[in-house]
Amino acid sequence: MSITVTPLHATFAARVEGADLTQPIDEATADVLRDAIDTHGVLVFPGEKLTEDQQIDFANLFGTLDVRNGIIQTGIKQRISERLVDISNIDDKGQLLDRQNRRRMANLGNQLWHTDASFKATTAKYSLLHAHTVVSEGGETQYADMCAAYDALPQKMKDKIADLEAEHSVIASRASMGFMDFSDEERAALPPQVRPLVRELPSGRTSLYLASHASHIIGWPIPEGRMLIRDLMEHATQREFVYTHNWEIGDLVMWDNRRTMHRARPFDESEARDMRRATVMDPDWQVSRHELASTG
């Protein structure tokens, strides 16, 4: 396969053409794509139209997939394979979800800047989102380059945050938008996690590891830590660090959750938007310094 990789932004994100993801990918091509995601942090593959199995097979080239990773588990009939996350506003019969529907309201949280699964015991390395149905206006996905954002911080701030850790909780991020309707079962399955604020990546670069799920800084007064997190989030999502993807049916966008944050933009929910996400886990990055310290 002859692959072309074209940058889409000054610091990150690229479009990949010439890879037919419906067909098995040979090892040489897989290596080119692994290098490309390492270099660019976001890869856009236009016009692919994959079945669920084809999307899963492609995602498996990059690591082990997370299974059953929707945050709403109680009282829901799954619409798609349990190996994919349902990022849609429709039910298993293809009907638009009711305005009050719990999955719809929890999914609205995707409009907050975040990185996937920062709140889970095993975080996400890559996400691969595939568009089955798109809306006529809005519904873009925006990405922020957290390495460029880190590099641009004043040295004083880099020193201040070097050893800090934040608590990440999806219960907290949804509560910040007024969604508190988690069952006891869901709450028990989603305990908070402690994560460093600054990450060394295998590429040798450093990123800010942030998300709306980050509620406070460990060991700091809650308001002080929350204000620092807000300040860093504002810094990292300035226009110069952001790439906006306008979806077409068949697009597959892959991103590195260690290197980027992302968010969905609003759209008119009288239209269906059907997206399905494969999530490649990051099992090498599970234990925080805080957990290590407290367990001796």
Binding site for ligand OGA (CB under 6 A): 87, 110, 116, 127, 129, 141, 262, 264, 275, 277
How many residues line the site for Mn ion (CB under 5 A)? Answer: 1
Closer residue to Mn ion (CB): 87 or 161: 87
Q: Which of the listed partners (ligand OGA, Mn ion, none) does 275 bind, with a CB threshold of 5 to 8 Å by partner kind?
A: ligand OGA
Q: Which of the listed partners (ligand OGA, Mn ion, none) does 65 bind, with a CB threshold of 5 to 8 Å by partner kind?
A: none
Q: Which of the listed partners (ligand OGA, Mn ion, none) does 13 bind, with a CB threshold of 5 to 8 Å by partner kind?
A: none
Distance from C-alpha of 13 to C-alpha of 133, rounded to nearest angstrom: 23
Q: Which of the listed partners (ligand OGA, Mn ion, none) does 37 bind, with a CB threshold of 5 to 8 Å by partner kind?
A: none
Closer residue to Mn ion (CB): 124 or 198: 124
Tell me the closest approach of the beta carbon of residue 222 to ligand OGA, in angstroms. 26
Is 86 near Mn ion (CB under 5 A)?
no
Closer residue to Mn ion (CB): 29 or 274: 274
Is 116 near Mn ion (CB under 5 A)?
yes
Q: Which of the listed partners (ligand OGA, Mn ion, none) does 104 bind, with a CB threshold of 5 to 8 Å by partner kind?
A: none
Query: Which DSSP string do the residues of the chain spell out, in sequence order?
Result: ---EEEE-SSSS-EEEES--TTSPPPHHHHHHHHHHHHHHSEEEE-S----HHHHHHHHHTTSPBP-S--S--TT----S-TTSEEEESB-TTSPBPPTT-HHHHHHGGGGS-B-TTTTSSS-EEEEEEEEEE--SSB--EEEEEHHHHHHTS-HHHHHHHTT-EEEE-HHHHHHHTT-----HHHHHH---EEEESEEE-TTS-EEE---TTEEEETTS-HHHHHHHHHHHHHHHTSGGGEEEEPP-TT-EEEEETTTEEEEEPPB-TTS--EEEEEEEE-TT----HHHHHHT-
Closer residue to ligand OGA (CB): 13 or 228: 13
Tell me the closest approach of the beta carbon of residue 86 to ligand OGA, in angstroms. 10
Tell me the closest approach of the beta carbon of residue 23 to ligand OGA, in angstroms. 25
Closer residue to ligand OGA (CB): 12 or 153: 12
Closer residue to Mn ion (CB): 116 or 251: 116
Residues that bind Mn ion (CB under 5 A): 116
